[in-house]
Amino acid sequence: MAMVAMARPEPWIAALALLFVACDSGTRNVGTVSTPPAANARAAGFDPGPIKTAAEYLAEPELAAADSARGEILGFACAACHKFRAEEGTLIGPHLQGVFGRPAGSVAGFNYSPALRQSGLVWTPKSIEAWLANPAGFVEGTTMAFSGYRAEQDRRDLVAYLLHVTQ
């Protein structure tokens, strides 16, 4: 029996597929996915935890155990709207360089929704995980059109990757 080698898909195809999965309304039953408490979190009065360096965050047990290589794949959904480096500019969303420890809505020159600018949020792994669970529910009135990652491990892996790539 002959083995047929499969070609790797073009990066834009993989990104489009991830974006489609990430934007799924949750009406299909695909694997086991739970809706953790972070999906119900609200920015008002949210405690983002301490501000640390990326290395300090990555040393924490949950993030140390995260799969940042898998997070890179999940990051294709982010890359559809965001650049990771400031010198690359912005797309639909602001660049993400230096996002950890930065107040939400603070990249100069980007037109944020009033809700995000006034949220009082500071981006930490804890607040980004809550945001990624349900952006519109976390900050009502945000203009970010992303339905969120429902699985806690998806968010954790993505945050670990972002801690590496956005420094």
Would you state the structure tokens that stand for residue 45, as one six-digit string?
């009065």
Does this model's pTM top 0.75? yes
Is residue 143 in some structural domain?
A: yes
- For residue 41, name the pLDDT band (cuts at 50, 70, 90): confident
In a domain, 6, yes or no: no
Q: Is residue 111 part of a domain?
A: yes
CATH number where 51 lies: 1.10.760.10
pLDDT tens digits, 79-130:
999 999 999 999 999 999 999 999 999 999 999 999 999 999 999 999 999 9
Structural domain range at position 118: 42-76+98-165
The answer as to whether 130 is a domain residue is yes
Min mean pLDDT across 9-18, 33-42, 89-98 is at: 9-18
In a domain, residue 24? The reply is no
From residue 41, alpha-carbon distances to 44, 45, 109, 112, 127 in Å are 9, 10, 28, 21, 9
Q: What's the CA gap between 38 and 125, in Å, rounded?
A: 12
Give the total number of structural domains in the chain.
1
Q: Is residue 17 part of a domain?
A: no
With respect to residue 25, please indicate whether it lies within any of the assigned structural domains.
no
Q: Is residue 144 part of a domain?
A: yes
At 128 the three-state DSSP class reads helix
